Amino acid sequence: MKNQHEHHHSANAADEAAMAELLDLDAEVLHAYLSDVTAWLKEMTGDRPPRRILDLGSGTGTGTFALLKRFERADATALDISPHMLRHLGHKARDLGVAGRVRAVQADLGVAWPSLGPVDLVWAASSMHHMADPPHVLAEVFKALRPGGLLVVSEMDSFPRFLPDDLGLGRPGLEARVHAARDGGPADAASAHLSPAGFTLEAKRSFVIDLRDPLPAAARRYAQVSLRRVRAHLDGLLDAGDLATLDTLIDGDGPDGVLRRDDLAVRSTRTVWVARRP
């Protein structure tokens, strides 16, 4: 029988494995968005492409690998609190043939900032709103960037949407009620701190993602994993009928499950801020 510590550890490991899968699916399904963002950054960096990149809260390396693909002479440091994520990232780096260009660093930025030396570009995707003390993190980013270097912050405006309004089961409007129950709206959390930290805001751009049939191959699994993740936090926030409908949707291979439906879409908006250290 597992003791409490072992149970907590295995639950954490399972949660991290599920999160790693979600991040990888996000990168696969939204590869066009990542390509668009990095192409835009290449235009902005012009004749001074970044050589040293820092991925802040790297997860499984979605940003790291997109940036290394776009900037072929760059190296990257992937920084994350999770050893599991960094091991996963290391395996991917080897699979992609870029292991020699990636250094993984495990650190809790709320406790201590590792010595990273000067970098040309810092990428922070869906990570700033998790920081307990954004002004402190931005002050450290400012110090790590060389003068003229860029900080790129991206956030999801809300959880992605996948479902039609009328599902043919349950009450219409389920996904709108899920969003109303869940969305805290962290999207602008970091932007207010950029100027006080000394950065100059160079650009802000919204990328609208609206994928319809034919969807990328991984899109249905992406919808299932995403909805399972949000379902874990909805007990007591939605009525029993809505929860039952959601459970039917995320069921492995039932006929009404998202893996078998042909009326899904992937809709999201991501806002990207580019700030420069003067």
Work out the average pLDDT over 26-49: 95
* Tens-place pLDDT, residues 138-175: 999 999 999 999 999 999 888 899 999 999 999 999 99
- Residues 63, 122: Cα–Cα separation, whole Å: 10
User: What pLDDT is stored for residue 190 in this prediction?
Assistant: 64
β-strands 102-106, 75-80: how paired? parallel
User: What pLDDT is stored for residue 230 in this prediction?
Assistant: 92
**DSSP letter, residue 215:** P
- Residues 121, 90: Cα–Cα separation, whole Å: 21
CB under 8 Å to 22, separation ≥6 — which residues?
222, 225, 226, 229
Backbone angles phi, psi at 2, to 5 degrees: -75, 140
Angle at CA 104, nearest 5°, toward 98 and 108? 155
* Tens-place pLDDT, residues 219-261: 999 999 999 999 998 999 999 999 999 999 998 788 899 999 9
Q: How confident is the model at residue 185 (pLDDT cuts 50, 70, 90)?
A: low
Q: How confident is the model at residue 191 (pLDDT cuts 50, 70, 90)?
A: confident
Q: Calculate the CA dihedral of residues 62, 65, 67, 69 and round it to 10 degrees.
A: -140
